[in-house]
Amino acid sequence: MATVSFDKATRIYPGTEKPAVDGLDIHIEDGEFLVLVGPSGCGKSTSLRMLAGLEDVNGGAIRIGDRDVTHLPPKDRDIAMVFQNYALYPHMTVADNMGFALKIAGVNKAEIRQKVEEAAKILDLTEYLDRKPKALSGGQRQRVAMGRAIVREPQVFLMDEPLSNLDAKLRVSTRTQIASLQRRLGITTVYVTHDQVEAMTMGDRVAVLKDGLLQQIDTPRNMYDKPANLFVAGFIGSPAMNLVEVPVTDGGVKFGKSVVPVQRDALNATSDKTVTVGVRPEHFDISDAEQGLAVTVNVVEELGADAYVYGTAKVGDDSKDLVVRVNGRDVPEKGSQLHIVPRSGETHVFSTSTGARLSD
């Protein structure tokens, strides 16, 4: 087991000017499950591949434990990687696939068999050991790929979107299995996904990347409660946080007929005439017409327990689309009007010009 550090690690691909990963600074604790998340092209795979030794590092350093591995070849880093497409050998049995790296390393047959059987037991694959990959379901193949990583007992697991080939239901059950397995084995893990729900449910901490730059690294709770900027605010949470540009008034910011209190300090920190207020769909209360912001209901998405109202409100001179979560048993009619107020303590304020969080 080991800590992992990205120390201002930078990757500039040959023939490009802008770094794909720019001065990445992350320290991962021993045994921690860290998720790298962000939109397509933000540099997740590049970061992981730098750690794996599959990509050159053009600036900064990478450490595993107290070893500087920046320029070590992959085989000397003591890591195991699980890819999106599993990359199983089709002509080999499950057992041979799982034991292959050990065989290459010259481990004797009896020891390989023992390690493979142990891993198969953990992953519930014992009865499939003699099958070929093509005779397995997607979820079972995914577990074989995990098994191949586990038998090597590496210091660090690296996983790049390992669940993206699975259907929605299997993805949910497998993500729970991976998270609990990781906790049981206690092996430091860096996990890449573009799915913020996966990131939030699996990670001890989550690192959000955009355009090669780290936006925030935090626990899932803090990521949700205190997004550091507009990008993270809009990225984490589903449906996304409502973000509305509003004028600054005395004592706070005006949101429809209600004034959202904001600390003076936060407002003094900006010279903008407006700020951007964020409220998650689940943080509105239904109010009477006197107080709230009037929302015209366009579409209602019923999910059973809850429903999401997609509506339009007039904010200042603009009309603005909003999403509001309501009780699934008390759903407004399409075309009707709803009055909403942001729940106190559940509003976020950001600088409109820089995107930085202003409220604490």
Ligand X SMILES: Nc1ncnc2c1ncn2[C@@H]1O[C@H](COP(=O)(O)OP(=O)(O)OP(=O)(O)O)[C@@H](O)[C@H]1O
- Provide the minimum distance between the beta carbon of 192 and Mg ion in the complex, in angstroms, as a whole number: 6
State which residue, 5 or 45, has the beta carbon closest to Mg ion: 45
Please choose, out of 35-43, 138-146, 242-250, 311-319, the segment that lies near ligand X by the rule CB under 6 A. Answer: 35-43
Site string for ligand X, 135-174 (x = CB under 6 A): ----------------------------------------
Q: Name the residue nearer to ligand X (CB basis): 117 or 195.
A: 195
Tokens representing 296 are 């015209």
Q: Which is nearer to ligand X, 150 or 159 (CB)?
A: 159
* Minimum gap (Å) between residue 72 Cβ and Mg ion: 22
Q: Which is nearer to ligand X, 37 or 340 (CB)?
A: 37
**Closest CB 336 distance from ligand X, rounded Å:** 40
> Can residue 45 be called a binding residue for ligand X (CB under 6 A)?
yes
Residue 44 interacting with ligand X (CB under 6 A): yes
Contact with ligand X (CB under 6 A): which of 42, 120, 151, 266? 42
Residue 16 engages ligand X in binding (rule: CB under 6 A): yes
Nearer CB in complex with ligand X: 41/139: 41
Residue 188 binds: one of Mg ion, ligand X, none (C-beta under 5 to 8 A by kind): none
> Shortest gap between Cβ of 343 and ligand X (angstroms)?
34
Measured from the CB atom, the residue of 43 and 133 that comes closer to ligand X is 43
Residue 53 partner contact from Mg ion, ligand X, none using kind-dependent CB cut-offs of 5 to 8 Å:
none
In the complex, minimum distance from the CB of residue 51 to Mg ion, in angstroms, rounded to a whole number: 13
How big is the site for Mg ion, counted in residues (CB under 5 A)? 1
Instruction: Please report whether residue 24 would count as binding ligand X according to CB under 6 A.
Output: no
Nearer to ligand X, 67 or 194 (CB): 194
Of 251, 336, 327, nearest to 298 by C-alpha is: 336
219, 208 in Cβ contact below 8 A? no
Regarding 31 and contact with ligand X (CB under 6 A), the answer is no
| Cα(204)–Cα(267) distance, integer angstroms | 33
Pairing mode of beta strands 318-327, 306-315: antiparallel
Site size with ligand X, rule: CB under 6 A: 12
CB nearest Mg ion: which residue? Answer: 45
- Rg of the chain over Cα atoms, rounded to whole angstroms, equals 24
Q: Does 13 bind ligand X (CB under 6 A)?
A: yes
Contact status: 194 vs ligand X (CB under 6 A): yes
Using the CB atoms, write b or e for 94-120: b if 16+ within 10 Å: bbbbbbbbbeeeeeeeeebeebbbebb
What is the closest distance, in whole angstroms, from the C-beta atom of residue 156 to ligand X in the complex?
18
Q: Do residues 129 and 93 lie in contact, with contact meaning Cβ atoms separated by under 8 Å?
A: yes
Site string for Mg ion, 35-74 (x = CB under 5 A): ----------x-----------------------------
Rounded Cα distance, 249 and 337, in Å: 26
**Binding residues vs ligand X (CB under 6 A):** 13, 16, 20, 38, 40-46, 194
**Binding residues vs Mg ion (CB under 5 A):** 45
